Every structure is written in structure tokens, then in C-alpha cells.
């Protein structure tokens, strides 16, 4: 059973694909009505870019797309005359950014005027979510009537309006999965754990037995390897990890055990769309590639810092503000007659002040039943909810 759930929040549209009630994929986009301001460089999107510099040694141009990262465009005979310092060009995203590396671009043509930023066409956020990760869903649950009409107009006849007072992500346990998707260590149901590290060049996943012991160590390693293969592929999908991925599975000494494991691995690999180039190295490391169409969760929601959720990373102010508003909206929805105070730090408050339309939408949907309070002790990215 594949079910797509879509939450149309006042600041963000969030979607999750559940397979047999287990989350396998996330999608995040702008709130409905903010589609034209969504500048995240997903593969296939077109942008106006300003050439910042041309490096003849690399035979490439570095291009400003308006997202504070220099994108990379390989120079060819067909585009080098147009790619001079300061030129405005139209480009398509071949691969999105990865940590400090900018997006890889495809040259479309020269532009006469404009500023760096995303170009049309723009699509309803709920429809884009359904087309991106919900094409094979048996049903789509959505919490907004207008979005339901847009989905059905786009041909998604399996969509239905969910009016439950509990927010969809909360009702289906997706909030907890999202929080856990930033943890470096993932426990396995049968014991042991995965340790996931996203780096500039690749993603490394180590399978740790966690000090488990058994009367048959070989059988124990096989059981953990089976569980690790299933969970590793889910985590790759869940975290939207693309590029080169290397997994260090426990060594299985018997030929029969290795054959069983390789058959299982082939089965779970089929759940990753577009995965390929899979092989074991002589040192028994398993490597494969996965499509890199959009930012991973880590790249989209966090930035470099000596803080949480991952060592050396912290949530961006915009991500923290959207999380705070999603929590506030969920509380207002579950308590239709209650009043709620959202206490935030200075960083979230500054982001909300820059996006007053989010609060106007919240008032239109739920009435003036909330208050935003700023408290210095909450730092830049922390918040709390309390009944008034």
C-alpha cells in the first residue's frame, strides 16, 4: 500500500510517501501561493544566471543563480561566446548543489535583461509534490480543499480531502521520522545500527553490530546484514541522498549466506528508482549510485555550525521558522477554540518579520487565536508552544 500525504501549511507545503505505513520519501516546497518565490535548484528547473567569473584553466564559468552558491557551467563551443563576465544567461539545473558545491548547469541561451533567479513555468505546490513522489501512490490524502481541486484537475482522481483535527504528519508519525532523518546513527530492529555520513564526494554508511553476541556469529552477521540492507535503502530514499554511496556490510563467511544476502540486496535495491552501478569491491565494500535530482534533507535544512542536529551543522533560520509555524498551525488545528502562544528566539522572529504573509495566512485560516512572543533565552532557532 502506497499512500501520499500532503500538508498545505501557511509557510511550506510538505509531503511524504508511505509504503505499508512506513515513510520512504519526503518532498518539501513553498506554501501554495508562493510558488514563484521557490528558488531551490531542483534538477530540470530553469534559472536566469549571472556569470561571475570564467576560469579558462577549468574551461568553466561560475554562475550566480541568486541562491548564494556559485553554480558550475562547463564551457563548450556552443556557449563560450555568451559566457563572459557579467553576462545574463538562461540555464537548466543538471544536478543540484551538494553541501558547499554549487549546482551543475546546462546552457540554454542568452538573456537580454533580468535578475538571477528561477524562471517559469511554475506549478501548484501540491501538484508538484504529487507528480514528484506520488505517481505510484494508491491514494493521496491532503488537508486543503483548494489543493484537492488542483490535484483532481491535474488527473489525480485518487486524492481525497482529510479533515481530521490532527495534522497529517503528526497523525501518521511522519514528524518523528523527519526529526530522526537528521540523526547520524540509525538503530536496526534486529540489533546493530547504521552510521551515516554525508560528505562532499560520497555518502558512507557503516553497519555496526553494536557489540551484539550470539552462539553463531556468522548467522548473526547475516541477520544484521539483511536488516541493514533494507534500512539503508530506506534511509537513502528518506534523506534524499544522491550520488555515490558506499556501504560497509558485515562479512558473511559462507557461500550460501552470501548468495542469500546478494539476492536480498538486489530486491531492496529495486525500491530505489534510478539506482545503478552497484558492485562489491575486493575489500567487500558495496557501492552504487543514486539519482541526485534535489537537495538532500541535510543540505536543504541545515548549514555549517558547531551545533545540532548533526555535529558541525545546525538548522537554518528559515527552516526553524517554518518548523515553528507548522507546530503552531498543528496546535491551532487540534484545538479549534483554544489560544496558543508561540515563543521564539530572535532569529525566528526576524524570519517571520520578513515573511508577514505567513502570519496573515495563519490568521485567515484559524483566526487571531495566537500570539508570537520573542524571548532572548530561546536563542536564534528554538521555540516553544503554550496555551494562553
**What pLDDT sits at residue 380?**
85
Residue with cell 536480498: 264
The set of cell numbers assigned to 169 is 504528519
For residues 324 and 383, the answer to whether their CB atoms sit within 8 Å is yes
Mean pLDDT by 10 residues, the chain (388 residues): 97 97 96 92 94 93 88 93 94 89 93 92 96 95 97 97 94 96 91 91 90 70 90 96 95 89 93 91 93 93 77 89 97 94 95 96 96 92 92
**What pLDDT sits at residue 335?**
92
What CA–CA distance (Å, rounded) separates 255 from 6? Answer: 46
**What pLDDT sits at residue 39?**
87
CB within 8 Å of 244: residues ≥ 6 apart: 201, 202, 203, 287, 289
**What pLDDT sits at residue 32?**
97
**What pLDDT sits at residue 308?**
62
Task: Give Rg (Cα) of the chain.
Answer: 23
For residues 180 and 81, the answer to whether their CB atoms sit within 8 Å is no
Domains within the chain, CATH numbers bracketed? 2-38+122-177 (3.30.420.220), 46-118 (2.40.50.140), 183-297 (3.40.630), 309-387 (3.40.1260.20)
Amino acid at each position: 500500500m502506497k499512500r501520499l500525504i500532503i500538508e498545505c501549511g501557511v509557510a511550506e507545503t510538505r509531503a511524504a510517501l508511505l509504503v505499508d505505513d512506513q515513510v520512504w520519501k519526503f518532498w518539501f516546497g513553498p506554501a501554495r501561493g508562493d510558488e514563484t518565490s521557490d528558488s531551490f535548484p531542483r534538477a530540470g528547473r530553469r534559472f536566469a544566471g549571472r556569470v561571475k567569473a570564467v576560469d579558462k584553466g577549468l574551461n568553466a564559468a561560475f554562475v550566480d543563480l541568486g541562491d548564494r552558491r556559485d553554480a558550475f557551467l562547463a564551457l563548450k563551443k556552443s556557449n563560450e561566446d555568451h559566457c563572459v563576465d557579467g553576462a545574463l544567461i538562461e540555464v537548466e539545473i543538471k544536478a543540484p548543489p551538494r553541501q558547499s558545491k554549487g549546482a551543475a548547469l546546462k546552457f540554454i541561451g542568452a538573456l537580454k535583461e533580468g535578475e538571477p533567479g528561477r524562471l517559469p513555468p511554475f506549478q501548484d505546490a501540491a501538484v508538484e509534490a504529487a507528480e514528484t513522489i506520488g505517481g505510484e501512490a494508491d491514494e493521496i490524502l491532503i488537508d486543503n480543499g483548494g489543493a484537492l481541486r488542483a490535484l483532481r484537475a491535474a488527473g489525480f482522481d485518487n486524492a481525497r480531502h482529510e479533515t481530521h483535527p490532527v495534522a497529517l504528519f503528526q497523525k501518521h508519525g511522519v514528524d518523528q521520522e523527519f526529526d530522526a532523518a537528521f540523526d547520524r546513527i540509525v538503530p536496526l530492529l534486529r540489533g546493530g545500527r547504521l552510521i551515516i555520513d554525508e560528505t562532499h564526494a560520497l555518502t558512507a554508511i557503516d553497519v555496526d553490530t553494536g557489540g551484539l553476541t550470539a552462539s553463531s556469529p556468522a548467522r548473526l552477521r547475516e541477520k544484521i546484514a539483511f536488516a541493514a540492507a533494507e534500512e539503508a535503502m530506506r534511509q537513502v530514499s528518506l534523506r534524499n541522498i544522491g550520488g555515490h554511496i558506499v556501504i560497509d556490510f558485515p562479512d558473511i563467511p559462507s557461500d550460501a549466506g552470501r548468495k542469500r544476502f546478494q539476492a536480498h540486496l538486489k530486491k531492496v535495491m529495486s525500491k530505489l528508482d534510478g539506482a545503478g552501478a552497484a558492485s562489491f569491491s575486493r575489500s567487500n565494500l558495496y557501492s552504487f549510485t543514486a539519482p541526485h535530482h534535489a537537495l538532500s534533507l541535510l543540505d536543504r535544512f541545515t548549514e555549517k555550525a558547531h551545533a545540532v542536529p548533526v555535529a558541525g551543522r545546525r538548522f537554518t533560520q528559515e527552516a526553524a521558522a517554518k518548523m515553528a509555524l507548522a507546530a503552531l498551525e498543528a496546535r491551532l488545528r487540534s484545538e479549534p477554540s483554544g489560544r496558543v502562544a508561540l515563543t521564539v528566539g530572535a532569529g525566528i522572529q526576524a524570519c517571520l518579520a520578513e515573511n508577514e504573509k505567513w502570519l496573515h495566512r495563519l490568521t485567515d485560516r484559524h483566526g487571531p487565536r495566537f500570539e508570537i512572543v520573542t524571548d532572548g533565552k530561546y536563542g536564534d532557532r528554538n521555540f516553544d508552544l503554550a496555551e494562553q
